[in-house]
Amino acid sequence: MSDNASILIVEDEDKIARVLELELSFEGYTVDKASSGYEAIEKFRTEKWDVVLLDIMLPEMSGIEILRRIRKENEQVAVILLTAKDSIEDKVTGLDLGANDYMTKPFQIEELLARIRAALRLKQKPNNEIDDQWLVFSDLKLNESTREVYRGDRLIELTPREFDLLVYFMNNPRHVLTREQILETVWGFDYYGETNVVDVYVRYVRKKVDGEQDNKLINTVRGVGYVMKDAYESKK
């Protein structure tokens, strides 16, 4: 089922790297390893990769810096962060820089394999599935092809993850969306664990989209999740 996808493992702990290499090879993936930052960058630039498994804590260069360099050169390769730190700040930083997913050590290999499959499914989505139409809700409009977002005449700058989150809201106006639904759709996997990363990103998007506006479009549904609705609409 791998279609011979290629995976680069960037991990300085030999035992972990070897286990990952054996498991992924058994699943039919083409696998190589790098144990330091500079080795990872060199291998990334000299070969074509579908997925990079990237440990955050590495010698010579942090995984976050490697991710930053990868995204400067390639926005398509899927990057899954591996971290021993169970800190929401580390996860948000990585996701904000363009990581597709993260795993906190120790993790089950079955879950990692599922995350890899999900990342590959998203990567293989054909470009023609995205048209040149604007999504419009109230005075907010978004173009998926050009990635432009406007609130009235004001251009809004969003990170890739913030943009994807707003697309999901605009595709589901007036529907209450749970944190689990948002994670599964926007982050691209069935998530079992912390959901407060959603709260962090909703806060970012709401600050940029709603700002000082009287009509707040992204609203909290206490104990459930979030909903995009026009407050003025309900008063008409």
Whether the per-residue pLDDT at 125 is higher than 70: the answer is: no
User: CATH code for 129-235?
Assistant: 1.10.10.10
Q: pLDDT averaged over the chain?
A: 86
Domain ranges, ordered by start, for the chain:
6-123, 129-235
Which amino acid is it at 25?
S
pLDDT at 86: 62
Residue 235: is its pLDDT beyond 70? no
60 pLDDT tier (thresholds 50, 70, 90): confident
Given this model, what pLDDT does residue 132 score? 52
Residue 191: per-residue pLDDT: 55
* Least confident interval from 3-12, 172-181, 189-198, 223-232: 189-198
What is the Cα gyration radius of the chain? 19
Query: What was the pLDDT predicted at 119?
Result: 83
For 160-219, how does the pLDDT look when each residue is reduced to its tens digit (9 = 90+)? 889 999 999 999 999 999 998 998 888 876 555 566 889 999 999 999 999 888 889 999
Residues 13-49 have pLDDT tens digits of 999 999 999 999 999 999 999 999 999 999 999 999 9
Tell whether domain 6-123 is in CATH 3.40.50.2300: yes
Higher pLDDT, 121 or 228: 228
What spatial distance separates the first Cα and last Cα of the chain, rounded to whole Å? 53
For the cut 80, the answer to whether the pLDDT of residue 90 exceeds it is no
Beta strands of the chain (E only): which ranges? 6-10, 30-34, 51-55, 78-83, 101-104, 134-137, 140-143, 148-151, 154-155, 177-178, 218-221, 225-228
Locate tokens 């993936």: which residue?
29
Question: Long-range contact list for 230-235, CB < 8 A, 24+ apart?
Answer: 230/137, 230/138, 232/138, 233/138
The residue among 6 and 111 whose pLDDT is bigger is: 6
Give the pLDDT of residue 1. Answer: 45
Tell me the mean pLDDT in the region 73-87. Answer: 83
CA distances from 1 to 8, 28, 102, 230 (A): 18, 8, 22, 44
Say if residue 131's pLDDT is above 50: no
